[in-house]
């Protein structure tokens, strides 16, 4: 019996490593695709005019992104893994097109600097979430409520246009996504027992895509919010 329990724990660890490796690999694929998408847009006068010459186009892109996130998150159990991957890639492309706008506002040097600062912060918090013995599940509802409040406040500030308010919202936003990075990493890790019982390639692939999307969003939002502090605006 003891030997069996040890074997099951080793199997769980193996499945978790496979899952986490797949999550991080797909997250990196998403970031790379988004970077290439943003690069292509920023170096195309036609695309720049199409996307940013029309004030409504950015909202169209946002709605497409939102639709893809909902489709992946809500429909993941009903689709095969190849469909989930295609939707994730499409989301990464559209998000990259949206992110091209930061190259119009900020200098490339400050964008690169901020990216590495965000990456280091994300890495530290993801490692913390994975290795900590503290149960972070209680953070979930608090962080979600704070995120909803942040979104509402950002909508309000869209009309107020207050720089001071925007600065404080960025501070709060960074704190929220730092917490979400640790929380989401631990949440993925806790799928260990589930994957040990349901060692299925389709299940693993679907969960990996949802996990990659979750951590991708944590990182991208952390990066964008940090531009408020480390980004140098163009003259």
Is 135 among the domain residues? yes
pLDDT of res. 204: 81
Is 133 among the domain residues? yes
12 vs 152 pLDDT, higher one: 152
pLDDT tens, residue by residue, 158-175: 888 888 898 999 999 999
What's the domain count of the chain? Answer: 1
pLDDT of res. 41: 95
Is 223 among the domain residues? yes
Is 78 among the domain residues? yes
Is 235 among the domain residues? no
pLDDT of res. 206: 85
What confidence tier does 196 reach under pLDDT thresholds 50, 70, 90? low
Q: Tell me the average pLDDT of the chain.
A: 87
Task: Give the Å distances, CA to CA, from 3 to 8, 10, 14, 193, 196.
Answer: 9, 11, 17, 17, 16
Residue written as token pair 């939102």: 66
Average pLDDT rounded to a whole number, residues 83-88: 94
Is 14 among the domain residues? yes
pTM of the model: 0.88
Domain membership of residue 91 as a residue range: 2-230
Is 198 among the domain residues? yes
pLDDT of res. 125: 96
- For residue 135, the tally of other CB atoms under 10 A from its CB is 9
Sequence-separated (6 or more) residues with CB below 8 Å from residue 105 = 231, 233, 234
Is 16 among the domain residues? yes
What confidence tier does 192 reach under pLDDT thresholds 50, 70, 90? low
């Amino acid at each position: 019996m003891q030997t069996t329990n040890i074997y099951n724990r080793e199997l769980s660890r193996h499945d978790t490593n496979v899952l986490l490796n797949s999550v991080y690999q797909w997250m990196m694929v998403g970031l790379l695709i988004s970077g290439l998408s943003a690069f292509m847009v920023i170096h195309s006068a036609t695309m720049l005019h199409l996307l940013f010459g029309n004030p409504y186009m950015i909202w169209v892109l946002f709605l497409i992104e939102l639709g893809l996130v909902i489709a992946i998150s809500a429909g993941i159990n009903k689709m095969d893994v190849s469909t989930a991957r295609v939707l994730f890639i499409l989301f990464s492309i559209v998000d990259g097109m949206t992110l091209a706008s930061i190259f119009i506002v900020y200098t490339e040097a400050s964008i690169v600097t901020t990216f590495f600062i965000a990456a280091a912060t994300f890495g530290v918090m993801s490692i913390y979430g994975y290795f900590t013995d503290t149960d972070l599940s209680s953070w979930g509802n608090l962080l979600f409520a704070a995120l909803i409040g942040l979104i509402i406040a950002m909508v309000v500030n869209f009309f107020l246009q207050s720089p001071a308010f925007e600065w404080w919202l960025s501070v709060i936003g960074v704190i929220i996504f730092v917490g979400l990075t640790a929380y989401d990493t631990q949440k993925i890790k806790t799928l260990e027992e589930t994957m040990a019982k349901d060692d299925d390639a389709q299940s693993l692939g679907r969960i990996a895509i949802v996990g990659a999307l979750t951590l991708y969003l944590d990182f991208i939002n952390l990066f964008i919010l940090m531009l408020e502090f480390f980004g140098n605006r163009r003259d």
